[in-house]
Amino acid sequence: MALTEAIRSAADGGAPVFGTFVMEFATPGVGALAAAAGAEFVFFDQQHTGWSLGALAPSLWGCRAADIPAGIRVPAAVPWMIGAALDAGAATIMVPAVDDADTARAIVRAVRYPPAGERALTFGVASDGFRPPADPGAEMRRRDAQTPVFVQIETVAGLSHVDEIAAVDGIDVLWVGDNDLAAALGVPGEFGDERYLAALDTVAEAAASAGIAAGFTTANPDAAQDMLRRGYRVLCCGNDIKVFHQALRSGIDQFRRVSQVAQPAR
């Protein structure tokens, strides 16, 4: 099932969709590693890393080879950044700090080709495997239909306009930026605060009302269970830094425990 169909199915009560973020290990094999672990998509983060598209090119190509959709979180809602990321091979886009419906509509226009949008047209580049399509018009329509758009709700303005943002045609996922949203609400790092929890429910309700999915990132299974109960249907299992750190720390802690009962005979 294509990512777009999986997301729409999840929003309609089907199985949730699970992926991960990559913020450090942008290697050619990271997509295959994620796919082998069961991830259904990977997002590479340009917002907090400063990665260029050139730096991400081998990883995007590796994801293509591993048949796992690769998304890019661009730094801002800038049309040329969105178009360039798609031409470089991104299968989906995430845009941070979307504050209103006008911004959401501009993002959709940047993703879609004319006449529905304003994406600049080029073929024979990485997005087509360096092979021009036999039918350019059909390929344009396919991309318009098969490129999910994720927008982040992480500001007071975005939260205030979340219903209008969710109703914009072409938006597929409302993604909560937990750290930024908590800080914007005046409770940085206080993820149990009632204002923050109420905001999570507001986003989930807006997504459900619009028939789209709500999404979230966490490396904690208990938090993931809570988000699923709240109606979040697309989840990232942390990012590569957190996953590596948690797995390695758990392993080292276990090594230390067993070392205390496995001393060599003297």
Instruction: Look at the block and give the residue holding tokens 């329509």.
Output: 141
CB 256 within 8 A of CB 250: no
CB 86 within 8 A of CB 111: yes
CB 82 within 8 A of CB 59: no
Distance set, CA 252 to CA 64, 220, 228 (Å):
34, 19, 31
* Residue among 158, 150, 147 nearest 217 (CA): 150
Residue 80 phi/psi, 5° resolution? -70, -30
CB 214 within 8 A of CB 176: yes
Cα separation, 118 vs 137, whole angstroms:
15
Query: Is the CA virtual torsion 33, 38, 41, 43 positive or negative?
Result: negative
Q: Which is catalytic among the residues 15, 48, 120, 252?
A: 48
Per-residue tokens: 16: 């949730």
Catalytic annotation present for 245? no
Active site residues per annotation: 48
